[in-house]
Amino acid sequence: MGGVGVSLMLTGRKRGAAERHGINTMRIAPYLFTLPFVISFCLFFAYPLGYMVMMSLENIEGISSVTFVGMKNYVRLFGDARVMNAVRNSVMFTAGILVLNVVLALLLAVVLNNRQTPLRNMFRSALYLPALTSIIVAGIYFRLFFGSGDRTPLNSVMSFLGFGPKAWLFDTVYTGVFALVITSTWRWLGTNLIYFLCGLQSIPQELYEAAEIDGAGPLQRLIYVTIPGLRPMIVFVVTVLTYGGLRMFGESYVLWTNGNTPNNIGITIVLYIYKTAFARYQTGYAAAMSTLLFVVLFFINLLYIRFLKIGKEG
Amino acid sequence: MKRQKRSYRIFIIVLLAVFALMALMPFVYLVVASLVEDMSQVFKNGLALDITPDMLGTGNYRMLVTEQHGVFFRWFWNSVVVTAMFTVLSLATSSMVGYAVSVYRFRGRKIYIIMIMSTMMIPVEILMLPLYREMLSFRLLNTYLGVVLPFADSSFAIYFFMQYAASLPRELVDAARVDGCGEFAIFLKIMGPLMIPAFGSMGILQAMTAWNDFLWPLIVMSTNENFTLTVGLQTYLSPYGNNYNMLFAGAVISVIPLMILFLCNQNAFISGIMAGSVKG
């Protein structure tokens, strides 16, 4: 804290300047700088959050008819088979993208980080390009990719392997989730790959050299040097994917036109909330679901901050 | 040993080529399909790949201009405006907040940090219902501001600027004060310019987010001529038959701006993505 004396001296010397600038002083300026955040925090976070919790305790029909119903919406939620469906689909989807994205992105990053790999930059760019598209663009392609026709590439492969063609989007809950996982992974893999590349570059080269001198083979170097060195980045990627998975909406909305998912196939938590609120106008019930989802995500957020110790002084 | 190295290289190239092919195939397919004028030829119950050169033409793109008075380009323009507004607003406010929290030691600073952290990754989707009501009462539904305002000041961006500002030499601030520089002038003239790389990285990230955003514009915008590209395009996927002619052509055009931005400055893009991650 050697700076204290200096800054005290400076504030002493600054008196004249302070008077000249009015509000433009060291004491007041930080509050003005942060004012936009405070306003936006109150208007677009704290207030809506409180409002949402309140809505979740009400039965709201249309805009005007509101009655207080206490915990009824929450009770109803746990007996609602469609909610359970949506939760199951979202959880399966999250598990799917976690496995695919972490494993594949890590593998590709290790390969692309190796100096002996040819055309590294070209491959990196090619693998990243899908991340530039919106879910609509990806959805247009993948709803055709998973189409039921027997001449689609996927069904051709299926026939070649001796299975019949499938209507992937309408067959079972599992093929539905599979289609969602592939669609998302196509868009997200590139970003996660870059995250891991970034993490790999922060591992000191000397560690690898030391491991090699100790006689560690490529696999041992991966397990004892690379993966521990990537730990913070793995935690980051897992957290981002968990959020992305539990909040997923667009993929379902586009793969099944306007989110009209058949029976229990393809419906996700956020899509169900959206439909409950904006198609069935049961705003109170939808608010109860959102509140619960908020609690879950907030908890994950806390765990994450704890885990990485971000935000600590330093 | 040498042979082992060579077979490793071949294995790696095949592996990467397979993944690159999977990543790029949808682009190739969308571009080719957008040039096919008779869509019944392209797919029956899913996509087919038997497209021959004599089926190709630019009719679908011309259709985008003529159909519904070229509303597609209206959507394109809306996306441009929303992206620009969102990016500028987000950079301006987030950089100020991040800078202040990292450079000043003021009462309540800890609380600010807790506030920023606790909202860091709370997604849009959670608050869509109350925010929709709020926009309704502010009369901001179906406006650009309604799309842009609620999420412009993101904790994620603030945290990024906090980290960046913390890495700048603080002596500069003290020196400027001695010279009688006001606090805002210090930010605008001295520290702000030093943060230009951060503005670049974050700008790209935020512009990408805004350009590809779907759910919130879908909720806020309610009339056809106010839709953004993502919201507009999906209206072609109607339950009453899909308008694939315009869908393919429109999808291709919607990707072009980010694609150009990416191909022109890949390094800025990549460092932007990296900057978005948390350095452990």
What CATH number is given to the structural domain containing B190? 1.10.3720.10
> Do residues B22 and B106 share a domain?
no
Are B14 and B117 found together in one domain?
A: no
CA separation for the pair A157, A177 (Å, rounded): 19
Rounded to an integer, the average pLDDT of A239-261 is 87
Q: For residue B26, what pLDDT is reported?
A: 92
Whether residues B48 and B99 fall in one domain: no
Domain annotation covers residue B62 = no
Residue B32 lies in a domain: yes
Tens-place pLDDT, residues B207-227: 999 999 999 999 999 999 999
Give the residue among B181, B267, B262, B193 at the shortest CA–CA distance from A14.
Answer: B181
- Are B165 and B238 within one domain? yes
- For residue B50, the surrounding DSSP H or E stretch is none
Same domain, B207 and B108: yes
- Describe the crossing of helices B244-264 and B2-34 by its angle, rounded to 10 degrees: 130
Mean pLDDT of A214-233: 86
Per-residue burial over B33-61, b = 16 or more CB atoms within 10 Å of its CB, e = otherwise? bbbbbebeebbeebbbeebeeeeeeeebb
**In the predicted structure, residue A190 carries a pLDDT above the cut 50:** yes
Nearest to B97 among A17, A34, A274 (CB): A34
Please tell me which of A58-72, A137-151, B54-68, B197-211 the model is most confident about, judged by mean pLDDT: B197-211
Give pLDDT, residue A273.
93
pLDDT above 70 (res B240): no
Residues A130-149 have a mean pLDDT of 89
Query: Model confidence over A3-40: pLDDT tens digits?
Result: 333 344 444 444 444 444 456 677 888 999 999 999 99
pLDDT of residue B98: 93
**Whether residue B50 is found in the same domain as residue B80:** no
DSSP state of A295: H
Q: Is the Cβ of A309 closer than 8 Å to some Cβ of chain B? A: no
B183 vs A258 pLDDT, higher one? B183
Burial class from Cβ neighbours inside 10 Å (0-12, 13-18, 19+) for residue B109 reads middle
The arithmetic mean of pLDDT across residues A260-285, rounded, is 88
Confidence of residue A235 (pLDDT cuts 50, 70, 90): confident
Chain B stretch 49-78, residues whose beta carbon is closer than 8 A to a beta carbon of chain A: 49-50
* Last residue of one domain, picked from the residues B57, B80, B101: B57
Burial of A285 (0-12, 13-18, 19+ CB in 10 A): buried
Span B245-278, pLDDT tens digits: 888 899 999 999 999 989 888 887 787 777 767 6
Residues 6+ apart with CB under 8 A from B125: A247, A249, A270, A273, A290, A293, B215
For the segment A8-17, what is each residue's pLDDT rounded down to a tens digit?
444 444 444 4
Listed by start position, the domains of chain A span 1-33, 75-308
Mean pLDDT of chain B: 87
Average pLDDT over residues B188-197: 90
Indicate the pLDDT class of residue A280, thresholds 50, 70 and 90: confident
Query: Is the pLDDT confidence value at A195 over 60?
Result: yes
| B43: phi then psi, degrees, rounded to nearest 5 | -155, 145
**B14 and B116 share one domain:** no
Comparing B33 with A89, the larger pLDDT belongs to A89
Residues of chain A with C-beta less than 8 angstroms from the C-beta of B126: 247, 290, 293-294, 297
Q: Which residues of B69-80 are buried (b: 16+ CB within 10 A; e: fewer)?
A: eeebebbbebbe
> Is B65 within the bounds of a domain?
no
Distance in angstroms (rounded) separating the CA atoms of residues A100 and B74: 38
Is the distance from CB of A295 to CB of A312 less than 8 angstroms?
A: no
Amino acid identity at B225? E
Q: In the CATH hierarchy, which top-level class contains the domain A75-308?
A: mainly alpha
Mean per-residue pLDDT, A161-184: 88
Q: Give the pLDDT score at B24.
A: 95
Tokens of B65: 């201009």
Residue B128 and residue B259 share a domain: yes
| Per-position DSSP letters for B73-141, written without gaps between them | HHHHHHHHHHHHHHHHHHHHHHHHHHHHHHH---TTHHHHHHHHHHTTT--GGGGHHHHHHHHHHTT-T
Mean pLDDT of the A183-211 span: 91
Among A68-72, A105-109, A172-176, B42-46, which stretch is predicted with the lowest mean pLDDT? Answer: B42-46
CA–centroid distance for A149 within its chain: 32
| Residue A269 CA: distances (Å) to CA of A183, A274, A279, B42, B249 | 18, 9, 15, 34, 32
Does residue B159 sit in the same domain as residue B47? Answer: no
At A307 the pLDDT is: 76
Question: Is the model more confident about A239 or about B269?
Answer: A239
pLDDT at B44: 53
Q: How many CB atoms lie within 10 A of CB B174?
A: 16
Tell whether B265 is covered by a domain: yes
Q: Is A275 exposed, middle or buried (0-12, 13-18, 19+ CB in 10 A)?
A: buried
Per-residue pLDDT of B11-57, as tens digits, reads 889 999 999 999 999 999 889 888 888 776 666 555 666 667 777 88
- Contact assessment for residue A71 and residue A79, using Cβ atoms and an 8 Å cutoff: no
Note whether residue B63 is domain-resident: no
Residue B231 and residue B117 share a domain: yes
Distance of CA A38 to the CA centre of its chain: 25
Distance from CA of A263 to the nearest CA of B (A): 16
Q: Which stretch of DSSP H or E encloses residue B39?
A: none
Residue A309: the pLDDT is 65
Interface contact flag, B134 A48, Cβ < 8 Å: yes
Query: Which residues, numbered 132 to 191 in chain B, qualify as contacts with chain A under a Cβ-Cβ cut-off of 8 Å?
Result: 132-134, 149-153, 158-159, 170, 174, 177-178, 180, 182-185, 187
Predicted local distance difference test score (pLDDT) of residue A60: 80
Judge contact between B209 and B151, C-beta under 8 A.
no
Instruction: Tell the residue number behind the tokens 């010397």, with chain if given.
Output: A13
User: If you search the block for the tokens 């839709």, which residue do you land on?
Assistant: B227
pLDDT computed for residue A8 by the predictor: 40
Domain around B266:
70-276
Give residue-wise pLDDT tens across range B113-169: 888 887 776 777 789 999 999 999 999 999 999 999 998 888 888 988 988 898 888
Mean per-residue pLDDT, A135-152: 85
Strands A58-61 and A65-68: antiparallel
Please indicate whether, in this complex, the C-beta atoms of A254 and B130 are within 8 angstroms of each other.
no
Q: Which of residues 151-210 of A touch B (CB under 8 A)?
A: 151-153, 155, 186, 189-191, 194-195, 197-199, 202
Give me the pLDDT at residue B69, please: 83
Do A258 and B237 contact (CB within 8 A), yes or no?
Answer: yes
* Domain total of chain B: 2
What average pLDDT does range B79-107 have in this prediction? 94
- Tell whether the model's pLDDT for residue A287 goes beyond 70: yes
Rounded Cα distance between B30 and B40, Å, is: 15
Asked if residue B101 and residue B48 are part of one domain, the reply reads no
B246 and B124 within one domain: yes
Find residues 88-117 of chain A whose CB sits inside 8 Å of chain B: 104, 108, 111-112, 114, 116-117
ipTM for the complex shown: 0.88
At residue A292, the pLDDT reads: 93
- A95 pLDDT exceeds 90? yes
Q: Which of A8, A34, A219, A246 to mutate to test the interface with B (most CBs of B within 10 A)?
A: A34
